[in-house]
Amino acid sequence: MQATDTQHLDLDLNEDQQAIADAVTRFCETRCDTETVKSLNHQFSAELWQELAAMGVLSPATPEGEGMGGALEICAISEALGSHVFPGPLAASFLATQVLPDNARAAIIEGSSVVSLSNIGDTLLPWGQHADIFLVVDGNDVLLASCDDDKRQAVNTLGAEPWARSSLTFGDQLDGAARGFILNDIATAAYLCAAGLKLVKEASDYAMVRKQFGTALGEFQAIAHPLADCQINLSAAETLARAAACCFDEGDMDAARNYSCSARLSASNAALQAAYTCHQVFAGIGITLEGPAFHISRRIRQLVSQPPGDVQCKAHLLQQVGLGTRD
């Protein structure tokens, strides 16, 4: 793997990017706060999705998205949505905008089309109950596919998202897959990191007020240090995602791919670690559905499990060091 000189990377959000993040945050606070997320039970709300899309948040790095920037804007948007656990096929939509032809892409950007991204040979379709565009990952390629509505069956999941099962009919191989994979991984990583950081913040706040043995939980090193480890690992993964975004925006696609794979893998591990650690801090209250942790931890589990998954990223990184067996 070729190291990238990060001295030229400015990983902070600029004013415009921060403004986008703030707008998304305000949207979430007014339209999709924690109680709404819990009451939605991770189901898909077409109304909310279209309201979100109307802000232009699915348009960065596309011809239609003039003024909405590129991958760093996607980072900013994904972080804002992740910290509010907003439901929907976010990362797959960013991938779709890179590979679909003009009218289909426009429908994704305005939120009127919902995309399902699955692996070839797999009949499980994330968000498949609501999807009308089906994309299939075949190694380093993306295929357009069609789904017979009559054969589509609802599938219940751990996180309660509306997955489906159906066989697909494969169509054209689409251009732009490499860019799409990078943005998919950046968005997934940024969302996971933000959700994990939100969970760590909630757990830390709780540890400061919850007393046992006459002492706040946060005063115990055995509680505080694991939370610190989570914060560090999530922040590191978040930095990788932003580095990938910077490289993408500067046109260095090789470095962007390396960073985006590293970001996704690091974010998956860090977010799962945060979910485990924070549940442990919240103890019994974290196990209940009305509590502060479960709606975030199961979203983390969903994103980690979501196709194309970590396998593709691992295969890419192994190739960079001369190992691995896949193309």
Partner 1 sequence: MDLSLSEEQIMIQDMARKFAREELAPVAEQLDHSGNEEAFLGNLKKLAELGCMGLNIQSQYGGGAAGVIAFSLAITELAKACASTAVTTSVTNMVAEVIQAIGNEEQKQHYLPKLCSGEYAAGGFGLTESSAGSDPSRMKTRAVRDGDDWILNGNKIYITSGTYAGVFVVWAVTDNDAKPGKGISCFLVEGGTPGLTIGKPEDKMGQKASHTNTLFFEDCRIPASALLGKENDGFRVAVGELAGGRIGIGSLALGVGLAAMDYAKQYLTEREQFGQKLANFQALQFMLADRYTELEAARLLLMQAAYEKEQGNYFGTAASMAKLFATEKANDACYTALQMLGGNGYIKEYPLERYARDVRITSIYEGTSEIQRVIISRDLLRTVS
- What is the number of other CB atoms lying within 10 angstroms of the CB of residue 62? 19
Closer by beta carbon to partner 1, 106 or else 315: 315
Closer by beta carbon to partner 1, 23 or else 283: 283
- 321 contributes a contact to partner 1 by CB under 8 A: no
Phi, psi of 119 (to 5 degrees): -95, 145
- Residue 279 near residue 296 (C-beta atoms within 8 A): no
Distances in Å between the Cα of 127 and the Cα atoms of 89, 91, 104, 113 are 7, 12, 17, 12
- What is the number of other CB atoms lying within 10 angstroms of the CB of residue 143? 18
Residue 48 structure tokens: 């909310």
User: CA dihedral in degrees (79, 80, 85, 90; nearest 10)?
Assistant: -70
- The pattern of x and - marking residues 105 through 144 that bind partner 1 according to CB under 8 A reads --------------x-xx-x-x------------------
Among the residue ranges 4-12, 176-184, 253-261, 285-293, the one whose residues contact partner 1 (CB under 8 A): 285-293
- 214 contributes a contact to partner 1 by CB under 8 A: yes
- 283 contributes a contact to partner 1 by CB under 8 A: yes
Among the residue ranges 51-59, 142-150, 235-243, 281-289, the one whose residues contact partner 1 (CB under 8 A): 281-289
Residue type, 266: S
Residue 167 structure tokens: 């066989």
Q: How many residues does the chain have?
A: 327
- 305 contributes a contact to partner 1 by CB under 8 A: yes
- Residue 320 near residue 258 (C-beta atoms within 8 A): yes
- 272 contributes a contact to partner 1 by CB under 8 A: yes
Residue 22 structure tokens: 């703030």
Among 162, 196, 218, 307, binds partner 1 (CB under 8 A): 307
Residue type, 258: N
Q: Which residue has the tokens 């974290």?
A: 286
- 34 contributes a contact to partner 1 by CB under 8 A: no
Closer by beta carbon to partner 1, 176 or else 291: 291
CB of 147 to partner 1, least distance (A): 16
For residue 75, with 0-12 CB atoms within 10 Å meaning exposed, 13-18 middle and 19 or more buried, which class applies?
buried
Among the residue ranges 83-91, 130-138, 154-162, 187-195, the one whose residues contact partner 1 (CB under 8 A): 154-162
- 188 contributes a contact to partner 1 by CB under 8 A: no
**Binding positions for partner 1, rule: CB under 8 A:** 119, 121-122, 124, 126, 155-159, 163, 211-214, 220, 222-223, 272, 276, 279-280, 283-284, 286-290, 294, 298, 301-302, 305, 307, 309, 325-326
